[in-house]
């Protein structure tokens, strides 16, 4: 029997990329032997004509399925919706901008058929990204490696192949605030990695601004580590020791030389420094409390407005 392989593709305001993506991916899929395909396209509340373009694809080719979300829930939720809807023996998330080359899919499938349960796509060349983005990405991966309790593969995005067993395991993870790269890494399973060169975007513009990338990094740090909380415990301890030493110094100076007029500068520096430390520590604590708040409400990760092209609801 032929194996069913699913591509999962989140779309958000990508009307320029719809036809380009289909034209690039279909020849690659059709050249892979002994496989049947479905392409699960998730419209994440697009405001342009992305959905209309996807529906045209689904009407022309039944291998294209469309999951229409009720609004924009974000890429992590859209990716989750696509993985939930995919029915393949293996599932491959991929972005619509074609920076991750579809030509690598054939090698992924071959590695999977050789026994791998997860096939990672490792970026060896990110020269198409800006210098700032490459630098901050390198800093994120290295810092995450030191503070997190999972081994997050460096320069590996969502583009990967997942065996059906891995997808089913992923569905058992109930987090509402989802850092998918971390969830993928947490699952484990037998993993191999394939190298590739990241390409320029085929169409459209990136939806990740600097602020969104910063928030995404915070999500990664707080999803799989309590080290940021421990850091402020250590800083508080160091601050207490410094304050005690300084107090002993003041007492000793007063005993030896009398009570000198206190300096405005030292008081100002001490108050502002420790006040800033307290505010930052409260902010870090707030990040974790916010995650608890979101998780306890138990709202669904996404809502589907309509399914297009599916024989039965997944």
DSSP letter at 2 equals P
Specify the residue for token string 């995450």: 144
Per-residue model confidence as pLDDT tens digits over 76-94 = 889 999 999 999 899 999 9
**Contact (Cβ atoms closer than 8 angstroms) between residue 6 and residue 40:** yes
Reply yes or no on whether the pLDDT at 310 is more than 70.
Answer: yes
Please report which confidence band the pLDDT of residue 314 belongs to, taking 50, 70 and 90 as the band edges. very low
Q: What is the pLDDT of residue 265?
A: 52
pLDDT digits (tens, 9 = 90+) for 129-151: 666 666 666 666 666 666 666 77
Identify which of 56, 76, 65, 13 has the alpha carbon closest to the alpha carbon of residue 37.
65
By the 8 A CB rule, do 143 and 214 touch? no
pLDDT, tens only, 220-251: 556 666 666 667 666 766 766 776 676 677 66
What pLDDT, on the 0 to 100 scale, is given for residue 97?
83
Give the span between the Cα atoms of 233 and 237, in whole angstroms.
Answer: 6
Q: Is 240 exposed, middle or buried (0-12, 13-18, 19+ CB in 10 A)?
A: exposed
The pLDDT value given to residue 128:
60
pLDDT digits (tens, 9 = 90+) for 270-292: 676 667 677 777 777 777 777 77
Higher pLDDT, 19 or 272: 19
User: How many other C-beta atoms are found inside a 10 Å radius of the C-beta of residue 192?
Assistant: 15
The whole-number average pLDDT for the span 43-65 is 88
């Amino acid at each position: 029997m032929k194996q069913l392989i699913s591509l999962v593709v989140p779309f958000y305001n990508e009307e320029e990329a719809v036809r380009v993506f289909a034209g690039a991916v279909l020849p690659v899929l059709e050249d892979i032997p002994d496989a049947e395909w479905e392409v699960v396209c998730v419209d994440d509340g697009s405001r342009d004509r992305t959905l209309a373009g996807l529906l045209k694809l689904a009407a022309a080719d039944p291998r294209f399925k469309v999951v229409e979300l009720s609004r924009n829930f974000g890429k992590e939720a859209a990716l989750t919706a696509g993985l939930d809807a995919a029915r393949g023996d293996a599932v491959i998330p991929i972005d619509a901008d074609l920076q991750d080359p579809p030509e690598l899919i054939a090698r992924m499938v071959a590695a999977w058929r050789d026994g791998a349960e997860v096939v990672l796509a490792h970026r060896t060349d990110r020269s198409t990204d800006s210098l700032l983005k490459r630098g901050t990405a390198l800093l994120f991966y290295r810092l995450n490696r030191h503070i997190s309790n999972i081994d997050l593969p460096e320069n590996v995005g969502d583009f990967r192949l997942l065996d059906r067993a891995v997808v089913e395991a992923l569905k058992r993870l109930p987090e509402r605030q989802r850092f998918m790269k971390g969830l993928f890494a947490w699952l484990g399973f037998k993993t191999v990695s394939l190298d590739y060169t990241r390409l320029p975007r085929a169409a459209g513009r990136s939806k990740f601004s600097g602020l969104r990338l910063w928030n995404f990094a915070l999500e990664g740090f707080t999803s799989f580590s309590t080290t940021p909380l421990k850091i402020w415990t250590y800083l508080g301890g160091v601050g207490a020791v410094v304050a005690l030493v300084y107090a002993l110094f003041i007492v000793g100076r007063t005993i030896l030389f009398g009570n000198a007029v206190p300096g405005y500068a030292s008081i100002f520096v001490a108050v502002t420094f420790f006040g800033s430390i307290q505010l930052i520590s409260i902010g870090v604590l707030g990040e974790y409390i916010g995650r608890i708040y979101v998780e306890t409400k138990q709202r669904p990760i996404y809502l589907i407005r309509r399914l297009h092209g599916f024989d039965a609801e997944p």
